[in-house]
Amino acid sequence: MHSSLETTASATIERRESSESMLGDKLVLKGLKFYGFHGAIPEERTLGQMFLVDIDAWVSLKKAGESDNLADTISYVDIFSLAKEIVEGSPRNLLEAVAELIASKTLEKFPQINAVRVKLSKPNVALIKSTIDYLGPNLLRYVIEQATRGGKSVVSRRKFSSSHCKFDERERSVLMEKMKSSTNRRRLLAFLVASSLSFHLWEFTRRQNARHEAKKVQLDPKS
């Protein structure tokens, strides 16, 4: 049973990594540490704590690789500074809100970026009486359309998490129509399909694990 679940989980991870690789090149900022005052507990707002941030920013690096010119890419320092300003800035109740702000501001400030993943975590959790490495949200947001209206560039972004891949029929129709005029439509469509499959595999694995644990409890004479 465990072997089957492990195989399914491994396939889920591989499929998700494959779907992300379809987005192409990316800049990676890993292990950023900032001191902030976010949290729903008064002590967290007063004393503060260390937060860990990982950022993946998908952007074409081909031109910069050929020219060796900083002007043809995005400076890691600029992305770092944006994350630092947000985490060390105004306190928020939820880590999800902080991560969402980092993701949205990154896409707004750097239009070259096609997608961004933000992993925000804190190693010290007051309400959990156990040893943990960290906990926190992991968000994926990306651009699906860029158009020009009235001489101005207008970027339309749909906030989209890899764990929420469902569209109603109207949204699906609109999305498919937009993708017809996109040069990256095949890549994006493949990414959407792979992400959706990843979610369903993850959900299947979660349910199988829950059933397995329930059976263990039923068979355990001590329970």
In the annotation, is 122 catalytic? yes
H/E segment holding residue 165:
none
Q: Please identify which of the residues 122, 178, 215, 222 carries the catalytic annotation.
A: 122
C-alpha angle with apex 36: 78 to 127, nearest 5 degrees? 135
Contact, 88 vs 36, CB < 8 A? yes
Using the structure block, give the residue that is written with the tokens 């990256």: 184
C-alpha angle with apex 57: 193 to 142, nearest 5 degrees? 40
CA distance 35 to 194: 36
CA distance 40 to 95: 10
> Strand 26-36's sheet: what is its strand order?
26-36, 49-58, 115-121, 138-149, 152-158
The number of helices, as runs of H, and strands, as runs of E, in the chain is 7, 5
DSSP string, 8-71: HHHHHHHHHHHHHHTT--EEEEEEEEEEE--SSSHHHHHH-EEEEEEEEEE---HHHHHH--GG
Q: Catalytic residue positions?
A: 122
